[in-house]
Structure 1
């Protein structure tokens, strides 16, 4: 049985992490970024993407955030439009 996680502004659904992202991020980095994401801190995305995310909060669109590891590697968090799945991944794994 899968549980919906709802700890912030929207439900995360099932949270998954890609193998590549597991290799280059620590659990602490993933949890910190996920906490920021679910609280509407979109990290290092463009102003256009921030605006899209803010609108998607109302219109049920996909949400995209971008963060950096302590070593400066970029990773993304994407929550699907229906809030069923949130994926933590590297940009090249998209």
Structure 2
């Protein structure tokens, strides 16, 4: 998978850490999808907004379903950091 942008510093919330029971390796496939532009379970207009943000700058967001629950990945507009969080933590 080609990387379309840099993730920057990766952080995860307490809720995500608890969701994966501390096994952060479970998150790697979803980070790889995010960085390659596979935005996951988002409405088409949000996917288009991400595609536009790749060209023009802007925040990027993906949503994925793990067996344990749903996560979001948000990369800041300046690509300095990406946060993995639960929707309830937004």
Provide TM-score, normalisation by structure 1: 0.87
Compute the RMSD of aligned alpha carbons.
1.2
Alignment of 1:74-85 (within 5 A): 74-85=70-81
Give the CA deviation at 1:8: 1.1
Stretches of structure 2 that go unaligned for 5 or more consecutive residues are none
- Residue 19 of structure 1 is matched in structure 2 by 14
- Residue 83 of structure 2 is matched in structure 1 by 87
- Residue 67 of structure 1 is matched in structure 2 by 64
Q: Would you identify which runs of 4 or more consecutive aligned residues in structure 1 move more than 3 Å?
A: none
Q: How many residues align?
A: 87
- Residue 4 of structure 1 is matched in structure 2 by none
Give the CA deviation at 1:41: 0.3
Match of 1:20, SS state, is helix
Deviates more, 1:45-54 or 1:23-32: 23-32
Deviations 1:24-64 (A, max 9, x none): 12423311100000000000011010000000000111000
Stretches of structure 1 that go unaligned for 5 or more consecutive residues are 1-6
Greater relative CO, 1 or 2 (CA 8 Å, sep 6+): 2
Provide TM-score, normalisation by structure 2: 0.91
CA separation in 1, counterparts of 2:30 and 2:17? 13
